[in-house]
Amino acid sequence: MIDIELIRKNKDVVKENIKKKFQEQKLPLVDEVYEEDIVLRETQTKADKLKSERNQFSEQIGLLMRDKKIEEANNLKEKVTSMKEEIESLEAKEQDLRSSIKSKMMLIPNMIAEDVPIGKDDSCNVEEERFGEPIVPDFEIPYHSDIMESFNGLDKDAAGRVSGNGFYYLMGDIARLHSAVLAYARDFMIDKGFTYCIPPFMIHSDAVDGVMSFEEKDNMMYKIEGEDLYLIGTSEHSMIAKFKDQILKENELPITMTSYSPCFRKEVGAHGIEERGVYRIHQFEKQEMIVICKPEESDAWYDKMWNYSVELFRSLDIPVRKLVCCSGDLADLKYRSCDIEAWSPRQQKYFEVCSCSNLTDAQARRLSIRYKKEDGSKVFAHTLNNTVIAPPRMLIAFLENNLQSDGSVLIPKVLQPYMGGKEKIEKKK
């Protein structure tokens, strides 16, 4: 949610930002908020003036009653009663206006960075840099689910019978590899100075509305029937919401945390669920990183965070590239975002494995996350998030890039301690 001062002082800039995001249907919201805000402030001023006059009359009534001037006191009492009814009416109008303004402000997208590429959808995202040499081996690389099944490591048929499409069983070395990369990612981030956390896997609706746009909520979140609880789609949701309604101390910032969680997603929309493999599914596990910092520090933290992703994937012998997200591909709360994409030797192209975002104060405003400066003023913090690792999707890149011609998969040195010292896993006979 943006600062309403932007609309008060320069609503045309806000409208231009909406156009850059190709959301012209939201343009009327800006004028509606602008007009309602004027009425709100006028209503507040009128109510405050009446309250002041009422207080003065109340003091006068006390003096008149003391001096036995009963008739004059009763006349003033009638005025106070009338004023009370008008004040209550104005306060009700205030409440309605505040509610209307907030609901519309929640739909207006965050201001995007000046250097964000302008484009309608992800086809306009821009490759910025590559890390590691993408290699295509001289032998055929099977589909990732076939590689997993060759180790007796994947059973989607059984998962379909038990849970339906979009679920899976991982077993044996593949399941162990899945856990190993999560443990390695956890320790990798701890070594970077991040505090490890396991958060709640369900959150209230006000927390959901604070961390994501309504469109994302409808397309992603599973609601628990009969309760005000949603299953998280990523641990960022509960990690950022941890600081809801908090006033932090300036010397506590930055807060840097890395979290493990299962994630649950409806995956409603154009992409849908992958029928065969485990690329787009309803349930997965993830290691995430979040940062809460001062506004002047958020750009530097954004660069640090996506670079951590590059460093981690390169330590696992996986070539990656940085893809800058265009304006139309940015979710409403994002100021800027980039994807780290891993190389797929089988497809001979890159695919997304991490997403790093700077949301400036958009989430903090929705969740009321502020910090107190030395001069006593309270400022909204900036929030950032980034994927550390999200298997089993990440396993697709790992298996393809470490697959050998005999069907075995090499285990990079950094991962071997988490695999019981194994240097490779081999196909089951």
pLDDT in tens, 87-106: 888 999 999 999 999 999 99
Helix (H/G/I), strand (E/B), else coil: 405: coil
Please identify which residue in the block is written with the tokens 């070539």: 319
Portion of the chain with pLDDT greater than 90, in percent: 79
76 three-class SS: helix
Q: What's the confidence (pLDDT) of residue 86? A: 84
Give me the domains of the chain, ranges plus CATH numbers.
Answer: 4-105 (1.10.287.40), 122-425 (3.30.930.10)
Q: Which residues of 360-382 are buried (b: 16+ CB within 10 A; e: fewer)?
A: bbbbbbbbebbbeeeeeeebbbb
Q: What would the two tokens of residue 100 be?
A: 């209307």
pLDDT band at residue 429 under the 50/70/90 scheme: low
**Is 90 exceeded by the pLDDT of residue 242?**
yes
User: What pTM did the predictor assign?
Assistant: 0.89
Helix ranges (DSSP H) in 125-256: 144-150, 156-162, 172-191, 205-211, 214-220, 235-241
Question: Cα separation of 291 and 236, whole Å?
Answer: 10
Q: Does residue 268 have a pLDDT over 70? A: no
Bridge partners, 370 (sequence order): 247, 380
Whether the predicted pLDDT of 416 surpasses 90: yes
**Over 90: is that where the pLDDT of 64 sits?**
no
pLDDT at 63 over 80: no
The CA distance from 79 to 75, in Å, is 7
* Over residues 318-340, mean pLDDT: 96
- Judge whether residue 65 has pLDDT over 90: no
Query: In this structure, how many other beta carbons lie within 10 angstroms of the beta carbon of residue 337?
Result: 27
